[in-house]
Structure 1
């Protein structure tokens, strides 16, 4: 997926698959680099089996594979995952990466999780900016992701907490920028956790960026990490 503030004119009713295929159907969209917050939040975790939701062109998946993870990326757009597979091959991690084009709202899918009896689940599920200007049932997607975590596994969720300074005022007013409390509500997890979940992180973090006209800016991200007990 893409940061949703980049598409202020997209109609909410537009077909999601058509929208994202068109988005990725031209030149490469992203830099290929991992999301910095995701990299920091996963740096000290022992490698295992990982899943990235809305993987786009595969930057986060490839980073995890380079760190030793067996990493799967799922995105709605076939054009995106085709580009991700090429990038993984170029960077020498094709054997540790798996990409699939699929509807993330299909909760009957294991999103690449092996269906053999010995597979306990994913040790890590990541979702970086899983926000969309067209229809996206985030609650359905993220709650299903929780069910796929192995014991001790973590869901790492990074979202835009506020629009950038250069976003049109009318778009900033109608956009949805979740707080940590919003995200925990979506997940159905209390801030203190419960017998199933520990909330390791639930906060807003600031990062420095360079805007489209070369201006310095500080962007706010909502960061939530939930661990399955």
Structure 2
């Protein structure tokens, strides 16, 4: 459903011919092609998901001159149904280091922790911190 909605928005914006939508099992995904933009948004799951392996594959899928954009939570709100992670969720800086994006082959463009106000399902309010990482693969 989400991919269909995104494809419709792309069509309405006149950019549908520039986007390739994929529905894949990310746990076993290995990129066969390189892309100008690889985006991973809130890649969290209450079931087992090899998040670091998936994001490493995403970085390998970025073409020279292209960008990797990863946005995720640094913590979950108190009302979340996610089980408490065994390790703290990484900051953007920690993720950049873990993915090897601080190497000469990459330029870090955004490495930030961003606070935003949120409202829970029963009207409760709070602040959530998200990590934002945007890196450009340098020309080969």
Q: Same fold (TM over 0.5)?
A: yes
Contact between 2:31 and 2:60, CA under 8 Å: does it hold in 1?
no
For the aligned residue pairs, the C-alpha RMSD in angstroms reads: 2.7
Q: 2:46 aligns with which of 126, 133, 140?
A: 133
Q: For this pair of structures, how many residues does the alignment match?
A: 135
Give 1:185's aligned residue: 97
Give 1:34's aligned residue: none
Evaluate the alpha carbon distance shift between residue 202 and residue 150 of structure 1 in structure 2; reply closer, same or farther with a 3 A threshold. same
* DSSP 3-state at the match of 1:124: strand
User: How much does 1:156 deviate?
Assistant: 0.5
- Which TM-score applies when normalising by structure 1? 0.51
For residues 130 and 67 of structure 2, the distance between their equivalents in structure 1, rounded to whole angstroms, comes to 18
User: How much does 1:125 deviate?
Assistant: 0.6
* DSSP 3-state at the match of 2:27: coil
The superposition leaves residues 91-134 of structure 1 with CA deviations (integer Å, 9 ceiling, x where unpaired) of xxxxxxx343x221324443xx4xxxxxxx31111101111122
Q: Higher helix share goes to which structure?
A: 1
Structure having greater relative contact order (Cα 8 Å, sep ≥ 6): 2
Give 2:124's aligned residue: 215
Give 1:228's aligned residue: 137
Contact between 1:163 and 1:177, CA under 8 Å: does it hold in 2?
no
Give 2:56's aligned residue: 143
